[in-house]
Structure 1
Amino acid sequence: MNHLQESKVASSELCKGNFLHVLRDTVSLPNGHLTTREYVVHPGAVMVVPLVEDADGQVRLVLERQFRYPLHRVMIEFPAGKIDPGEEPFQCAQRELREETGYQARSWARAGLLHPVISYSTEFIDIWFARGLIAGERRLDEDEMLDVFTATPSELMAWCRDGTVTDAKTLIAALWLQNVLSGTWKLDWLDAP
């Protein structure tokens, strides 16, 4: 696959904000030509798929409604958040679940890694499942406003199908969920420390 590799020749900073860092690199293509690549450097994030059981043993999902300014609309999503400097993804998953929903989980399973926008960002999202939820108090950031609600897996799948859910990470989580619930994909569950 070396015949596909591009090599950085030079780099310049276009923007450095509180959250995102935008670079423009000059790269040498495999055919020897030069071109530029602009991309966003992102610290990485986690997403949690929280599972709760009803009194009758049916699985429900903890989801959020949150206004996303770039799209100017309220989106349905799984709990997620940016990894802080020096924080491990699992620590971030635990923190984000507690802060955004108030829940803590007795068991956790790492599902995998998602690269949501490979064409222009270094962003990755670590995907976690959580179960054995214990309700508690939310600790939202001062500028964070969201609603927490539960839905059945079939409701989520219908929203994915009809375009109500368009968030890439939530769509990927729905794929994971569908395969986990059917028994096609296995998770290695671990008790929370």
Structure 2
Amino acid sequence: MATTDDAHLVERQLDSAEVYQGQFLRVHKDFVALPDGSTATREFIRHPGAVMVVPLLDDGRLLLERQYRYPMARVMLEFPAGKLDAGEDPLACGRRELLEETGYSAAEWACAGVLHNAIAYSDEGIHIYFARGLRKGEQKLDKGEFLELVIHSAQELDALAARGELTDAKTLIGLLWLQRWQQGAWPLDWQRAD
């Protein structure tokens, strides 16, 4: 959020062009005036936003997914997440994605906040939700979606991160938030599911 004190840092758009529109990503190339009066171009992605869910099992362990991610050309370990549909409430998206991808529903939900994982080239915001009181149901994966469910403790995830084996930014932030919440430093306001 820019304030009047930030005027010496703010870039001003002079011209904008959408250079690509895909199924949900749009690529823009803008021409901007820099604070010193010079000009530059900015290329960035417009993204509709997403939701990530940190599912807590009753025994304290966490439900995660292993999924092949094409840009990385490898299977990645991550918390369940998905893209927001146009006009969709983030909590509704979180509930939908948790059920579709894992088959679980939750009795309680807590919104932690929003993370911006690639601010230099994308406006994507990922809403972080925690879910507990999980009840197992049936997965309803989207056509063309393939993933494997796995269970890890926070300590196991921490060790994977320390070894560089857990690298997904949203999952690392989810783990950080979990650890800070467990330490009593970052609050979560739990609400019963309707």
Superposition TM-score tier, normalisation by shorter sequence: over 0.9
- Runs (5+) with no aligned partner, structure 1: none
Match of 2:3 in 1: none
1:140-155 alignment runs, 5 A limit: 140-155=141-156
- Runs (5+) with no aligned partner, structure 2: 1-5
Match of 2:14 in 1: 9
What per-residue deviation string (whole Å, max 9, x for no partner) do you get for residues 104-137 of structure 1? 0000000111000000001010000000001000
Query: Which residue identity lines up with residue 86 of structure 1 in the other structure?
Result: G
Give the drift of 1:149: 1.5
Name the CA distance, whole Å, in 2 between partners of 1:35 and 1:184: 41
Within the alignment, does 1:189 sit opposite 2:190 as a pair?
yes
Give the drift of 1:3: 1.2
Q: Could you tell me the TM-score, scaled by structure 2's length?
A: 0.96
Please, what is the CA RMSD of the aligned residues? 0.7
Name the CA distance, whole Å, in 1 between partners of 2:184 and 2:40: 46
Match of 1:39 in 2: 44
Within the alignment, does 1:60 sit opposite 2:61 as a pair?
yes
Match of 1:157 in 2: 158
Within the alignment, does 1:180 sit opposite 2:181 as a pair?
yes
1:36-115 alignment runs, 5 A limit: 36-54=41-59, 59-115=60-116
Regions of 4+ moved over 6 Å: none
Q: Which moved more, 1:137-146 or 1:181-190?
A: 181-190
Identity of aligned residues (%): 55
Match of 2:126 in 1: 125
Q: Could you tell me the TM-score, scaled by structure 1's length?
A: 0.96
